[in-house]
Chain A
Amino acid sequence: MDIMIGLIPGALLLGAIGLFAFLWSLRSGQYEDLKGAANRILIDDEDKP
């Protein structure tokens, strides 16, 4: 059962990384223009240097 001491914080850490990734994406405005983001992948930027 000693392994729990390592596993539990490990699992919580992974969960927390997911949570912070979401909060970061929210803060950096990635949910401001969902339609535009979906469409932007269709634009190829070959003529940009």
Chain B
Amino acid sequence: MAGFDVALRQEAGCPSGLAPPAPANEARADPAAFVRRDKDGHDTLELLVPGAKCAGCMRKIEGGLSALPGVSAARLNLSTARLSVAWTPGAQSADKVVEKLAELGYQASAFDPEVGKRQVDQEGRLLLRCVAVAGFAAMNIMMFSVPVWSGAGEMGPGARTLLHLFSAIVAIPCALYAGQPFFRSAWRSLKRGRTNMDVPISLAVFLTLGMSLAETLQHGEHAYFDGVVMLLFFLLVGRYLDHQLREKARAAARDVLAMQATSATRIEAGGHAVAVSARDIQIGDRLLIAAGERVPADGVVADGASEIDNSMLTGETLPVNVQAGAALHAGAVNLTRRLTMRVTARVEDSAVAQLGRLIEAGEQGRARFVRLADRAASLYAPVVHSAALLTFLGWLFGPALLRQWGLDIADVGVRAALQNAVAVLIITCPCALGLSVPAVQIVATGRLFKRGVLVKSGDALERFAQIDTIVFDKTGTLTLGKPQLISEADVPTLSAAAQLARISRHPLSRALVEAAGAGKAAEQAHEVPGEGIEGVIDGLPARLGRRTFAAPSAADAHDEHAELWFARGDNAPVRFAFADALRPDAAETIVALKQRGLAVELISGDRRSAVAEAAAAAGIDKWTATAKPAEKVQRLDALRAAGRKVLMMGDGLNDAAALAAAHASASPGTAIEASQAASDMVIQGAALAPLIEALDIAKAARARVFENIGFSVVYNFVAAPAAALGFLTPLIAALAMSGSSMTVTLNALRLNLMKEAR
């Protein structure tokens, strides 16, 4: 294994190549502010290491950090990409730890443990314990039930009672333990004077246990202990699946919050830089914004000159030049040079935070959405309760009534009446109903995940299925969000220009480098902020940049496209034109969406001409340009008022509010965190096609859910009257319950057989 080890030591970043190594960060903030002292007296630091993907990363990171003096523990959680490091105070520093990680090729952001704290998922743990207990009981009780069923008629009452007693010993404690989630929820809702699905479930559990125990003690024939635990087992499985889905969405939102909390580097009075969480930023603070970093709060440039990418805020693709005194808005990205800024507004008052409030308002609106399962449940409880009550009263007073009409029927007594009423309660218990929705949603989200679509919640699928209108953002959503070289250029000129471009972070330079491919960077070159790059190539002075900088003598090309001019020695200057290209399958996707009968709109904050061009290329007839975030929300509100169910797809901060306000929303994987947090689905990769797949699967999932609910209703229509009339035996109850649960699960799995959308 020596070769493997050498490979691990040499290469930076993930040794399996699953994530690119992090670029060497020029200014790294000291994460000392995030260090916490644990109860053993060690200093601990929680870091998010997004580049950690494989066993090699784990070995490299944990091994590399453990080798540092003073470090007592370094443990990476690969599922959450969180690293926790502990060291003896004084022997090591947070700064060194992050530096070591950067040396290994991993970018790490410190995490505020208060914000990012993964509250141990108490509810999920309890549900899992209950599933285990109910499963244990349901399996082991069969040991007693099967002999009773198969020995019916031959087994004496003594042996039967003995087996029933054993069943009771297993079932009663297990059912009381495993039923906790239902009992608590039922009690909570009863205290508020309402009923939910858990009220009939709890009632059925208690009544059935009580009735079965009474039967057993009186040497009766029928005991439903097996039915109770089986019922709880199936219901708990459904509840656990549902909880898992919600928890995944919550964890994603928490990680976004935790990441945002770290994004500021403050220059202290002594002149050294310290990382602070964004909510600790005060007015008047001097913050350091390294090239490539996002501006954390509103303010003005105090020192330095650079270019700022406002595309997340406004949808405008081209960067803006800033110098000392220029205004900076939170959410903008600093592109070329390091800046020092002075904060002029508190983070809570910044433009981003205002957008955050818009997002919140939108999400509250969405919380009013009632899930299918809940709607079914609100109908279900009263019907079941009245059916059971009617059965009881019918058996109690029915014979007397019928005798008045001249029929010769004997009274059956309270015991038989109660038995039949309980039989109705247990047979109608919503096993299949409780499993039908979560099972479908788990299968659907699992399938979409394989296609690179992350579904954030189960009800998102339900909302996706109702969509009739899609509104796209332009920059970064319909387009790739970065300029592409569109003009022709001969290879030697291109590769010469690329040598200069390689030293710059400017988006146009990056696009030029991408078009030229791999190569060397010019050695004697420097960047003039806002103008271009100046250097020497093959002994000739060369310039790449604005027309006024690189080729003042050349004529203005007079077109809308972004441009770079390249001049070398006495050669004639060359113009490179750039445009933000559509995603490769954008036009196809729009056609496919229209074929599905959906209305498609484009709404962007960019210039009219750019938006019109993109709309024409993508085949969208209805478009709006220069829309501000609030105007996007207004447009969505107008569509909603017209009775439309709108899917919003966007990526920038300027879309976040609209994403939250729409009926359903999606964002590409390159979107800013706030937008990913506000949307229901995140689509990875450059292609838009997974969006079609998501819509198709959502529709199919809704069909499966309706089938499953329909099946449960039909099943109840057959089973409930049979139970009410006294035909139910414990064997039939057990078969019906497991049979219906199996049917809905298999029906859910049918989603995996569906063909992929083209």
**Which residue numbers of A lie inside 8 Å of B, CB to CB?**
1, 8, 11-12, 15-16, 18-19, 22-23, 26, 31-36, 39-40, 42-44, 46-47
Contact = CB atoms under 8 A, between A and B. Distances in A.
Given A32-B79, A42-B55, 7 more contacts: A8-B143, A18-B136, A23-B132, A31-B128, A33-B79, A39-B78, A47-B63
A49 B1 CA distance: 17
B58 interface: yes
A26 B80 CA distance: 18
The prevalent SS among residues of A at the interface is helix
Contact of B143 (A11, A19, A31): A11
B128 A11 contact: no
B711 interface: no
B58 A33 contact: no
8 contacts: A12-B140, A16-B136, A26-B128, A32-B79, A33-B79, A35-B79, A43-B59, A44-B1
B96 interface: no
A26 B122 CA distance: 12
The prevalent SS among residues of B at the interface is helix
Interface of B: 1, 54-55, 58-59, 63, 76-80, 125, 128-129, 132-133, 136, 139-140, 143-144, 159, 166, 170
A19 B136 contact: yes
B166 A8 contact: yes
A1 B55 CA distance: 56
Contact of A19 (B1, B77, B133): B133
B58 A43 contact: yes
A40 B54 CA distance: 9
Contacts of B59: 43
A42 B133 CA distance: 33
A27 to B, nearest CB: 8
B58 A12 contact: no
A36 B78 contact: yes
B132 A19 contact: yes
B486 to A, nearest CB: 42
Contacts of A43: 55, 58-59
A38 to B, nearest CB: 8
B132 A33 contact: no
Contacts of A1: 159
A12 to B, nearest CB: 6
B78 A35 contact: yes
A46 B2 CA distance: 11
A26 B240 CA distance: 15
Chain A CB within 10 Å, residue with most, of B136, B159, B166, B170: B136
Nearest to A5: B162
A32 to B, nearest CB: 7
Contacts of B170: 12
B624 to A, nearest CB: 43
B140 A11 contact: yes
Contacts of B139: 15
A33 B140 contact: no
Given A33-B77, A33-B78, A33-B80, A26 B55 contact: no
Nearest to A39: B55
B78 A46 contact: no
A26 B120 CA distance: 12
A8 B142 CA distance: 12
A8 B140 CA distance: 10
Contacts of A34: 79
A36 B143 contact: no
A40 B55 contact: yes
Given A18-B136, A35-B79, A36-B77, A23 B58 contact: no
Contacts of A44: 1
Contacts of B79: 32-36
A23 B143 contact: no
A23 B290 CA distance: 49
Contacts of A15: 136, 139-140
A40 B56 CA distance: 9
Nearest to A18: B136
A36 B58 contact: yes
B77 A32 contact: yes
Contacts of B1: 44, 46
A46 B4 CA distance: 13
A22 B76 contact: no
A39 B77 contact: no
A7 B79 CA distance: 43
Contacts of A40: 55, 58
